[in-house]
Chain A
Amino acid sequence: MTPMRSLRALAAALCVTLCGCGGNAQSFNGVDVTGADWGRGFSLQDPDGRTRTLADFRGKYVLLFFGYTQCPDVCPTALVRAKEAKDLLGADGERVQVIFVTVDPERDTPELMREYTAAFDASFLGLRADLAGTKRVASEFKVFYEKVPEGASYTVNHSALTYVFDAQGHLRLVLKHTQTAEQYAADLRALMKQAS
């Protein structure tokens, strides 16, 4: 699927979910995508070179988002927000696993991923893949990303959504970049409450 088409597909999927929830009383700040036939998992490398899949995080509420470390703006903001949301949950914050997936594996080496995520929280995990694997995971999550050449360098435009999985490893919510740490924390709390 081309990036633009996958973006439209995501927009359509979000709309169907948003408009179709009808009588469901549970309300979230994020878009409820429970039962989606995309975003079902990933297979990526951690900074130690080990392959990690969604199944490794069973029992954890996973916050997953895509970005790159040379990004001065959205990515640090997303990581700071994830840290704040985790802290807002108090002891339940331990049940949250934050995963940052790079869309710029050429520059984001395993060492850099490790240093970068650790600067925000020691528990955060940076995952990466080769170019083909990055394309696959982006396609699975309907993530749009594109390298924008710029002189000798490039920036990477990318979707800035956060995906939330429940403790059973099911994709449940998609949150936006414009939403606050409080809104993220409230949704995580609501998911935890539902499960208890």
Chain B
Amino acid sequence: MKRKLIGSLLALAATSALAQVTVKDPWVRATVPHQTATGAFMQLSSPADAKLVSASSPVAGVTELHEMKMEKEIMKMRPVTSIAIPAGKGAELKPGGYHVMLMNLKQQMKEGDTVPITLVVEGKDGKRETVEVKATVRPVNAPATGGDHGGMHMKH
């Protein structure tokens, strides 16, 4: 069984390293009426080094990759051009770190709704491919760690 699994993994790796970028627990923070921006969070993993280079969603006019940082008690948010997904380690997009910023929202994000997000990932060879994600809308007051059931964790 194990050998078979490794065998198929190798076969996949041979055809495309990128095809294995997987997304776990994608979620979007709900919005209240009149609110026009929110964040999407998820865990990305890849057996080969890759990076997330862009994202888009039909619910948002503008979608960007952002990083949140605390510097001397000041919250700083800035767009980033890419988010590294190191082989085997992955990347965690979560409150307090990276997120996909959905701006100019065309509708209210309601708890329980599903939001389609298209991710563009790039392998070491510069080849790009898209990953379709269906993110669940969690309540506006979802805690930072909410719904994170095991899986991989990055050290910070």
Instruction: Tell me if B72 and A158 are in contact (CB < 8 A).
Output: no
> A109: which B residues are within 8 A, CB to CB?
34
> B37: which A residues are within 8 A, CB to CB?
70, 72, 153
Instruction: Tell me if A112 and B73 are in contact (CB < 8 A).
Output: no
CB-contact partner of B141 in A70, A74, A80, under 8 A: A80
Given the interface pairs A72-B39, A76-B95, A76-B140, the reply to whether A157 lies near B33 with Cβ below 8 Å is no
Judge if A130 is at the interface, Cβ distance under 8 Å.
no
A158 to B139, CA, bound (A): 24
Judge if A99 is at the interface, Cβ distance under 8 Å.
no
> A178: which B residues are within 8 A, CB to CB?
70
Nearest CB of B to A167, in Å: 26
Instruction: Tell me if A160 and B32 are in contact (CB < 8 A).
Output: no
User: Could you tell me the dominant secondary structure of chain A's interface residues?
Assistant: mixed
Instruction: Tell me if B75 and A158 are in contact (CB < 8 A).
Output: yes
Nearest CB of A to B90, in Å: 20
Stretch of A16-24, A144-152, A183-191 lying at the B interface: A144-152
CB-contact partner of A74 in B36, B68, B79, B143, under 8 A: B68
Number of A-B contacts (CB under 8 A): 103
> A161: which B residues are within 8 A, CB to CB?
73
Of B34, B64, B66, B139, chain A has the most CB atoms within 10 Å of the CB of B34
Judge if B22 is at the interface, Cβ distance under 8 Å.
no
Given the interface pairs A72-B99, A115-B32, A116-B32, the reply to whether A148 lies near B75 with Cβ below 8 Å is no
- Chain B interface size range: 35 or more
Residue of B nearest to A161 (CB): B73
Nearest CB of B to A15, in Å: 12
CB-contact partner of B73 in A69, A73, A79, A160, under 8 A: A160
Nearest CB of B to A30, in Å: 12
- Chain A interface size range: 35 or more
Residue of B nearest to A14 (CB): B73
CB-contact partner of B35 in A7, A69, A150, A152, under 8 A: A69
A176 to B73, CA, bound (A): 7
Of B33, B77, B95, B143, chain A has the most CB atoms within 10 Å of the CB of B77
> A135: which B residues are within 8 A, CB to CB?
none
> B142: which A residues are within 8 A, CB to CB?
76, 80
Judge if B152 is at the interface, Cβ distance under 8 Å.
no
Given the interface pairs A83-B141, A151-B62, the reply to whether A72 lies near B101 with Cβ below 8 Å is yes
Nearest CB of A to B102, in Å: 8
Instruction: Tell me if B76 and A157 are in contact (CB < 8 A).
Output: yes
Instruction: Tell me if A74 and B75 are in contact (CB < 8 A).
Output: yes
B residues at A contact (CB < 8 Å): 29-30, 32-39, 62, 64, 66, 68, 70, 72-79, 95-96, 99, 101, 103-104, 139-144
10 A-B pairs within 8 Å (CB atoms) are namely A72-B101, A73-B96, A79-B141, A112-B33, A115-B33, A116-B35, A116-B140, A119-B30, A159-B74, A160-B74
Leading 6 A-B pairs by shortest Cβ distance: A72-B39, A115-B32, A70-B37, A112-B34, A74-B75, A119-B140
